[in-house]
Chains A and B, each alone.
Chain A
Amino acid sequence: MRDLHLPLNQTQRVRLEAALHELQTLAPAAASAAAVTVADNIPVNHEDNILKGHGTTDQDGEVVATLCGVVERVNKLVYVRTLRARYKPEVGDIIVGRVIEIAPKRWRLEINFSQDAVLMLSSMNLPDGIQRRRTAVDELNMRSIFEENDVVCAEVRGFQHDGSLHLQARSQKYGKLQRGQLLTVPAYLVKRRKLHFHHLEQYDVDLILGCNGFIWVGEHVVVREIADLKEDEQKLSAEAETFTPIETRRHICRLANAARLLSALGFTLTVELIIQTAEASVSSNVEINDMLGAEFYVQTAEGEAKRRGDLLGKKR
């Protein structure tokens, strides 16, 4: 939110402030009351056996926050959810990362966690699709699978006993991502859902919302059975594969800008909201390069305030 540095004119500023104020009043009152800073007491009503979770500590029998954020309660568990801290992985999360190093039998990935994630060669599907022991030759050919700076999609497999994070990519849907844009947003803006891979058919675009706040917008890739691929087919299609139609590129840029805009405004990123914003920009004739301008920011904020207001009105 505070990274917002826009050349607003007077009316735009007033409108933006009004919209933000509207949003603030719509937010449940409990949300603002639950905000804590370091060393604030968390009231627990002296209930017995409260479980102290992440970001809390015990001081003279009182529960005290050690982080800035919002207090969350799940039954007896009390923890602090931070808003600006780094991504905290959970097993099964789908993440997008960038390869920063190739080490023996493993790749190291930057995923916005406090440590680098490790993707072992043995937890990868080999390009030929055969299940077998990884040999020294495979190890030498690791660069043919992922190189440094490649963007990779994978799943969190688990933590080793020393706290390092391991990933796996044992499925066709995981792997190298090409021809698209990688956006980084604060991790808390992406909520854990059933679905993180989205194929937007109307645009022919793939959208991956990584739980770590890395978002991939790229050209749609058809997942094929590897056995079906013949050598000559591969050669023929190679030329077509390197080409992305200009229409698709436009769509990619528009969706990416929509995601950038929403994250700058601090709205939780969902597919519906991203598509909605992109559609709104089309219908109000905003060019792709004007989407990040002041006017569209204000429009989006106002639209969201109105949408939430309507939702709340319906509930009542």
Chain B
Amino acid sequence: MSAAAAAADTYSPAAEAGSKRRERREELRRHLAEDADWPRADGRSLHDCRPAFMQTGPTTAASGSAYAEFGKTKVIVSVFGPRESKKAMLYSDTGRLNCSVSYTTFATGIRGQGLENKEYSGMLHKALEGAVMLHTFPKTTVDVFALVLESGGSDLPIIISCASLALADAGIMMYDLVTSVSVSCLGKNVIIDPTSDEEAWQDGGLMVSYMPARKEITQLTLTGEWTDGKITNAVELCMDACSKLCEILRERLKDPASLASE
């Protein structure tokens, strides 16, 4: 009997360990949904964003580029152009904005294909379209390529913020910097800047892309179950976080600008 127990200790079956982990996650999920002041898995409170690290100029070949790291999520965005539209097409007064979001093969826990994410590409285009002054570069195209190095939740909002930083770095005329933040609704709580776990548990999600200086929203995406009062609160929460994120972007842009003007 004792020998069997010892054996169980040494070779703890995978199923059992898995179920323990699942239990712990289930407990965390329940707390997040019900307790208002329970710390999240990474120690943040419900309305805290992850620390943001942003930098311009990781890709030297591009006209402009930016790197963003929010917790585990790591993104590189490169902007090319404005350059002559390669596809032979009719004359157009306005420029074109081409967006493409792709994941590396090792971005998620499950090894993927690293293909272009069509849905995110379209959403990125929609979010930036309103901010870029397309009429300032007729007949030409601006290409925005986003590459997610590691996916750790809130990927799209981070891609959007990073892309607007890269566009500003490339010297493309914009009405304002676009920043984007998402929130998740879990039970009775609304949590900001969710990680991939929290995104998986959410009842509903909301993403807001915002131009803080002009106080205009360029994109708003709402999914899942929400109640009226909560939506208003959540949008305000997002807009507030966007303004704060924009300050970080501005600082980043000021910093290399003062160096280069020597």
Which A residues form the contact surface with B (CB < 8 A)? 1-3, 20, 23-24, 27, 31-32, 35, 37-40, 55, 57, 59, 64, 66-70, 82-86, 114-116, 162-164, 266-267
For window 241-262 of chain B, which residues contact chain A by CB distance below 8 Å? 250, 253-254, 256-262
Bound-state Cα–Cα, A24 to B262, Å: 7
Instruction: For the complex, give the distance between the alpha carbons of A109 and B258 in Å.
Output: 33
- In chain B between 53 and 74, which residues have their CB closer than 8 angstroms to a CB of chain A? 56-57, 60, 63-64
Which of these, B175, B213, B257, contacts A68 with CB under 8 Å?
Answer: B257
Task: List 15 A–B pairs whose Cβ atoms lie within 8 Å, in order of A's numbering.
Answer: A2-B260, A31-B261, A37-B250, A39-B176, A39-B211, A39-B213, A67-B172, A67-B173, A68-B169, A83-B171, A83-B257, A84-B170, A115-B140, A164-B139, A266-B259
- Residues of B close to A66: CB separation below 8 A: 133, 173-175
The residue on B at minimum CB distance from A163 is B138
Of B15-23, B77-85, B185-193, the stretch lying at the interface with chain A is B77-85
With both beta carbons as reference points, the residue of chain B lying nearest to A5 in the complex is identified as B60
**A-B complex: 10 closest residue pairs judged by Cβ atoms:** A85-B171, A39-B213, A114-B82, A39-B176, A82-B171, A37-B253, A66-B173, A114-B140, A83-B260, A38-B168
CA distance A24 to B260 in the complex (A): 10
A-side contacts of B176, CB under 8 Å:
38-39
B60 contacts which chain A residues (CB < 8 A)?
3
A69, A85, A116 — most chain B CB neighbours (10 Å): A85
Give the docked Cα–Cα distance between A66 and B212 (Å): 14
Please, which residues of chain A bring their CB within 8 A of the CB of B258? 24, 32, 35
- Asked if B261 and A37 sit within 8 Å, CB to CB, the answer is no
Q: Are A55 and B173 in contact (CB under 8 A)?
A: yes
Which residues does B use to contact A, with CB under 8 Å?
56-57, 60, 63-64, 81-84, 91, 133, 137-140, 168-177, 211-214, 250, 253-254, 256-262
A55, B171: Cα distance in complex, Å = 9
Whether A163 contacts B139 by the Cβ 8 Å rule is yes
> Could you tell me if B175 and A37 are in contact, using CB atoms closer than 8 angstroms?
no
CB B92 to nearest CB in A, in angstroms, measures 11
Give min CB distance, B236 to chain A, whole Å.
21
Q: Considering the chains assembled together, what is the distance between the CA atoms of A114 and B143 in angstroms?
A: 12
Chain A residues with CB under 8 Å of B177's CB are: 37-39
A35 touches B254 (CB 8 A): yes
A70 and B261 in contact, given A37-B250, A114-B137, A163-B139 (Cβ under 8 angstroms) = yes
The one of B84, B91, B171, B214 in contact with A39, judged by C-beta atoms closer than 8 angstroms, is B214
Q: How far is the CB of B131 from chain A (nearest CB, A)?
A: 9
State which of A27, A57, A86 has its C-beta within 8 Å of the C-beta of B261: A27
Measured between C-beta atoms, what is the minimum distance from B179 to chain A in Å? 11
Query: Given A66-B133, A266-B260, is A37 in contact with B168 using a C-beta cutoff of 8 Å?
Result: yes
Q: Quick check: A115 and B84 within 8 Å, CB to CB?
A: yes
Q: Are B140 and A84 in contact (CB under 8 A)?
A: no
A266 adjacent to B262 (CB under 8 Å): yes
Q: Is there an interface contact between B139 and A162, defined as CB atoms closer than 8 Å?
A: yes
**Minimum distance in angstroms from B81 CB to a CB of chain A:** 7
- Provided the pairs A66-B173, A115-B140, A163-B139 are in contact, do residues A2 and B256 lie with their beta carbons within 8 angstroms? yes
* Contact A84–B64 (Cβ < 8 Å): yes
- Collect the chain A residues with CB atoms within 8 Å of residue B140's CB: 114-115
Give, as a whole number of angstroms, the nearest-CB distance from B99 to chain A: 18
Q: A23-B262, A24-B262, A114-B140 are in contact. Are A84 and B169 (CB under 8 A)?
A: yes
CB neighbours (8 Å) of B214 from chain A are 39, 59
Question: What CA separation (Å) do A162 and B211 show in the bound complex?
Answer: 32
Cα distance, A2 to B255, chains bound together (Å): 11
Which one of B57, B213, B250, B262 has the highest number of Cβ atoms from chain A below 10 Å of its Cβ? B262
